[in-house]
Amino acid sequence: TRSTRPQRLLHAVQKNATRGDPRSVINAIDQFCRHKEWAMNVGDEKGCILDSVVSEVNPSTVLELGTYCGYSTVRIARLLPPGAKFITLEFNPKVAKIARQVIAWAGLEDKIQLVEGASGDLIPKMKEQFGVETFDLVFLDHWKDRYLPDTKLMEECGLLKKGSILLADNVICPGTPDYLEYIRNSPRYKSQYFKSHLEYTKVEDGLEKSVFLG
Ligand SMILES: O=C(NCCCCCn1ccc2cnccc21)c1cc(-c2ccc(F)cc2)cc(O)c1O
Ligand SMILES: [Mg+2]
């Protein structure tokens, strides 16, 4: 049977990237998605904005919602200080299996805890099951209609502290209108929009960075 797009992306990494070199893994995926097959990685343009936010926050604890093939996971993990705790959630077991191999090819498996399941089920278990107090940085890149409910859930579970940063992908395309409305009008957040483009295209998209004010 025909291979899946994540499988073909993994093969491109194994063929074109150097083991243990995160930069070459990032480049191999971007080349594959630009010249062979589009895939829904955050991409290199929005990826540079992600990099600058990660470097600025220099987080000790990170949550990523939506691992996919591990592209943004590698981008984030390569910038983390030693000892940082990085949890990434993936819903689809087949995709998670590919992501584990991409992450391993980059040599970053020791910095990342990839957990399979739905955010709505796993977020309430973060403290007890994963020993997390609060997250310094959350990267939202999963089902677009889950950004808002999961943000409210993280607030309710006490997973955000004053200064916690939420960075949301795709707030224009595919779009997260209810999340944007909430986060831009809530007195509990200070938000900033980083205009960019949908990965590997000329279509407008952007990242919304929001600071939790407590
Ligand atoms: O759908 C997107 N991502 C989400 C994929 C599924 C996540 C599932 N999942 C993972 C963890 C997890 C935890 N709990 C519940 C569910 C969970 C996405 C789509 C586009 C896109 C597609 C077509 C188009 F024409 C234009 C744009 C671009 C992006 O950058 C995207 O990110
Ligand atoms: Mg995305």
For residue 107, what are the CA distances in angstroms to 31, 34, 74, 170?
20, 24, 9, 28
Q: Please, are residues 43 and 200 in contact by the beta-carbon 8 Å criterion?
A: yes
Closest ligand to the CA of 69 = 1
Ordered DSSP codes for 158-198 = T---TT-EEEES-IIIII-HHHHHHHHH-TTEEEEEEEEES
Crossing angle for the helix pair 5-16 and 93-105, to the nearest 10 degrees: 10
**pLDDT surpasses 90 at 1:** no
Crossing angle for the helix pair 22-35 and 43-57, to the nearest 10 degrees: 150
The 10s digit of each residue's pLDDT in 178-207 is 999 999 999 999 999 999 999 999 999 999
Out of 91, 95, 172, give the residue to mutate to test ligand 1, the one with the largest number of ligand atoms within 8 Å of its CB.
91
Ligand 2 centre and the CA of 16: distance in Å?
23
Nearest to 54 by CA among 188, 144, 151, 165: 165
Report the nearest atom of ligand 1 relative to the CA of 203. Answer: 26
Q: Whole-number mean pLDDT of the chain?
A: 98
| Structure confidence at residue 162 (pLDDT) | 98
Out of 5, 139, 143, 179, give the residue to mutate to test ligand 1, the one with the largest number of ligand atoms within 8 Å of its CB.
143
User: What's the predicted TM-score (pTM) here?
Assistant: 0.99
Whether the complex's predicted ipTM is more than 0.90 is answered with yes
Catalytic residue among 111, 136, 170, 209: 170
- Residue 141 designated active-site: yes
Ligand 2 centre and the CA of 169: distance in Å?
5
- Residue 136 designated active-site: no
Please state whether beta strands 61-65 and 85-90 pair in parallel, antiparallel, or not at all (unpaired): parallel
| Structure confidence at residue 23 (pLDDT) | 98
Ligand 2 centre and the CA of 58: distance in Å?
22
Amino acid identity of 159? L
The 10s digit of each residue's pLDDT in 114-132 is 999 999 999 999 999 999 9
- Residue 208 designated active-site: no
Report H helices in the chain: 5-16, 22-35, 43-57, 71-77, 93-105, 119-122, 126-130, 147-156, 177-185
The 10s digit of each residue's pLDDT in 3-34 is 999 999 999 999 999 999 999 999 999 999 99
